Structure 1
């Protein structure tokens, strides 16, 4: 016998059901990465001269030089210490980014899809709706944490250092950290025009908090910012690191921050109009008539750019900021490498390129996953357009399905070009400022090849969206792109033959900052782009206007 569900239980269950696929991906992907890293470390220990202590010393040097990206790094001579530094810290960051996006969509996204109004029409209080959405997502995060804990337990056992309790406590700390980001997303989205714009702003804020927390003891008085960063309190719970444990006080502080942010969000939600932010600039009584038509609205691709201008600006700034930070680390990295003799090893590998060239090449190649993330985000927006009825409206005009696909791709390629320009500008400007020698030819080659990669990924995304027409397409893209990137890392970690790297979408471009990419890789990306775009237009043309 099935018991009838209360309105609160229905909202909680609906939240869980909507995010079940994402939870499964996080669990399987996170567990797989942890297990692979444990096996990789075991393989590296077997080959590394000097054993654990020597390997830990070499990794510690790089960690100190690049602590802006990951910190703290302690007891790297143990599997628990290494996997916490190398994997868990980044997992907490990316899970927080996922959570903040869901927080921005929890209320504002439901308004856009016109799901919220029927719920409120039943008399359900706004605060209750917000709270029930938060409880539902909290259960999703707890499920992800349990799954990640199981993966960590397996990884630790396979690495010869079983620690089930520490594994699950570490995973719970990740979930608590992400829940703070979710609450921040819910709160900020009440103040900003759309859920997408809010997600861009909050993602930038969370990224800055993550980076500054890693170097809080090196930035003087600005280091006080750590006390409002969920990553600082996450760092207090390192249950897998010998000599550390789970900090109850840090967990309580993070949960208190979440409650405070949700309280602020509830206060703003009660005082604003549905579909509008808390503060809306209203025209005065003598305001002149506003011209509705804009030249940018005459074409769909430019109208898309106009609509997404705030989010696009955040993407460009974030890409430039991130690449600039990588360039800013160059002197410290080279200094540490010199002290440990790594620069001699790098020069011996390929004397044509200096250690600075090789470091900048590594930094520049982060642009590829940034573009992949942009493509996935835009594909999710295409699905949202179909869900929210915008596609039906567009196709009621003389615009055909094939032209709609083309216009979307043009908008995406313009966005990709702007993100590349922003990223390259950040890298070059900061690199020159810190005194690094920049290879201009390498920079131009990097921009051209990564743009071709973006074209191929965008066309492939258009095909999957036209074919699947649901969020399954976004899930499939995330898995495909993630697996492709992880496979490339595995080739490097395990020293597999170089030709295997060409089986990865990201491996097709090689190392463009240092040398010309392989011709077969460029041909593969070009063919993939042409075939996928043509297939996307053909499939879409045979599709109904609504789902």
Structure 2
């Protein structure tokens, strides 16, 4: 497995392939199992209320239901984050570790090296798509007694194509930044923007903004639905854009300096020590370089700002949905056994109740994802050797670790605080009566989940490589969230439910704080 760069790169992706592939396959099989006539009838009646999530084509069939529910938005959105991280680190990760110099010292060109790594990423995504297709086949065979192998495989490959495009885009952006985190953050923002443009264009019929979103072209093909008029040219367009980004990346990588930026050869050459002297001068005057904690707060400031805007947007969106759909949604819950199972512990009979149900179903997952991305910087710094110089100074490792951890904890307080304030202000502006104490409890009860997430990262960072750690914790978070989401529909052992931080979080917006669980999670963290 170590004879070629291609095989070594593919081996490095083995954990991600299994975690994402098996997780998505399980998700697909469970959703197919739920596609009963009662469920299809229920979702057919409310699908138009949630057009921003997808186009409800043939939703009265199991294939149309699965496509609308998970394959138009949620699954392609979820799987696209991993190739973005992998693409951003494809060469920048090697450059930061210093291993790229060793690879390029061998008799092979830069172009061959990058193409080998890129082909390994493509094959990894294809394998994930094939595992997802196996989940579709298993669910379809269990529900209908037969399965369409070709259509399931095409559905998985269509998803892999979209994810590969975003991976190539991250690779291209990494040629213009010195940090993989910066390029990954930019492309992740573009990913979310493309989802927003596609959703907006779907709500505003005829809007041109959808043409700017890759999701628009991805949804031109829905192979799982036999009667859908697929457009192969849309897949060709996505593939062409991916090849264009990959080709541009290869050309730029072949011409730039190791550790440098694209087109830097066009600028005026400065003395070799110019950047070093400038950095030392800035470090002497800057407040945030005086200790590890202040530096971490400064570095995490902009990511926290954008995540905070995302939290406010989700709060406002849930408030708008609750005010506009409460009566219709409540009636559907009362008439549909499946929805009664899913919302067995969350009332939907008032606007305030529906707001609490929507918001605190999705917000904990968003907050935990924020904690994960923030804490993973510690693992990346350890793997890339950025802490070697710091550890050589006269200060203990425990002091450095505690300073980083403390700065992360302070930043993580932003999400619960903004959730609480956004709901209070939004409720006042919309003249909606809410229980301020319960909103406060539900918001800050998410904090122990954040602490557990960063605690897991810090505990495992020295034992697992960055890629394996990302894959393992991402898979745990996704499975733990699904476990809690389907608690009322699927019976699971109590001990298994208690492994989910989302289950232990409980339902404080309606039932109040469970102090045993709150203190237990805080103690575990």
Instruction: Decide: shared fold, TM above 0.5.
Output: yes
Q: Which runs of 5+ in 1 are unaligned?
A: 46-51, 530-547
Q: Kindly state the Cα deviation for residue 71 of structure 1 after the two structures are TM-superposed.
A: 0.8
| Contact 1:296/1:306, CA 8 A, preserved across alignment | yes
Match of 2:234 among 233, 243, 250: 250
SS in 1 for 2:34: helix
- Could you say which residue in structure 1 is the equivalent of 2:173? 188
Match of 1:101 among 79, 85, 101: 85
Q: Kindly state the Cα deviation for residue 441 of structure 1 after the two structures are TM-superposed.
A: 2.4
- Could you say which residue in structure 1 is the equivalent of 2:137? 153
- Could you say which residue in structure 2 is the equivalent of 1:412? 408
| Contact 2:12/2:467, CA 8 A, preserved across alignment | no
Q: Distance in 2 between matches of 1:33 and 1:220?
A: 31
Q: Kindly state the Cα deviation for residue 374 of structure 1 after the two structures are TM-superposed.
A: 2.9
Match of 2:50 among 63, 66, 88: 66
1:87 matches 2:81? no
In 2 relative to 1, CA 468–153 (structure 1 residues): closer, same or farther, beyond 3 Å?
same
SS in 2 for 1:159: helix
Which digits, 9 at most, give the CA deviation of each residue in 1:56-104, with x for residues without a partner?
3421344332333x21222233221222222223111111121112111
Q: Kindly state the Cα deviation for residue 314 of structure 1 after the two structures are TM-superposed.
A: 3.2
* Paired residues for 1:168-187 under 5 Å: 168-187=153-172
1:110 matches 2:94? yes
1:478 matches 2:484? no
Q: Kindly state the Cα deviation for residue 121 of structure 1 after the two structures are TM-superposed.
A: 4.4
* Paired residues for 1:29-428 under 5 Å: 29-41=23-35, 45=36, 52=37, 55-68=39-52, 70-89=53-72, 90-122=74-106, 124-160=108-144, 162-219=147-204, 223-244=207-228, 246-270=230-254, 272-278=256-262, 290-293=281-284, 294-334=286-326, 336-337=328-329, 354-425=350-421
| Contact 1:35/1:155, CA 8 A, preserved across alignment | yes
Q: Distance in 2 between matches of 1:353 and 1:443?
A: 17
Match of 1:19 among 13, 28, 33: 13
In 2 relative to 1, CA 328–277 (structure 1 residues): closer, same or farther, beyond 3 Å?
farther
Give the total of aligned pairs.
511
In 2 relative to 1, CA 117–145 (structure 1 residues): closer, same or farther, beyond 3 Å?
same
In 2 relative to 1, CA 335–207 (structure 1 residues): closer, same or farther, beyond 3 Å?
farther
- Could you say which residue in structure 2 is the equivalent of 1:526? 522
Q: Which runs of 5+ in 2 are unaligned?
A: none
Q: Kindly state the Cα deviation for residue 449 of structure 1 after the two structures are TM-superposed.
A: 0.6
SS in 1 for 2:51: coil
SS in 1 for 2:507: coil
Cα RMSD (Å): 3.6
- Range moving further from structure 2, 190-199 or 25-34: 190-199
Q: Kindly state the Cα deviation for residue 141 of structure 1 after the two structures are TM-superposed.
A: 0.9
Q: Kindly state the Cα deviation for residue 522 of structure 1 after the two structures are TM-superposed.
A: 1.1
- Could you say which residue in structure 2 is the equivalent of 1:444? 440
SS in 1 for 2:394: coil
SS in 1 for 2:478: helix
Q: Kindly state the Cα deviation for residue 193 of structure 1 after the two structures are TM-superposed.
A: 4.1
| Contact 2:327/2:349, CA 8 A, preserved across alignment | no
Which digits, 9 at most, give the CA deviation of each residue in 1:492-535, with x for residues without a partner?
22367999855521122212233312222112212212xxxxxx
TM-score by length of 2: 0.85
In 2 relative to 1, CA 122–309 (structure 1 residues): closer, same or farther, beyond 3 Å?
farther
| Contact 2:169/2:242, CA 8 A, preserved across alignment | yes
Q: Distance in 1 between matches of 2:268 and 2:297?
A: 25
| Contact 1:432/1:438, CA 8 A, preserved across alignment | no
Q: Kindly state the Cα deviation for residue 307 of structure 1 after the two structures are TM-superposed.
A: 3.0
Q: Distance in 2 between matches of 1:282 and 1:156?
A: 62
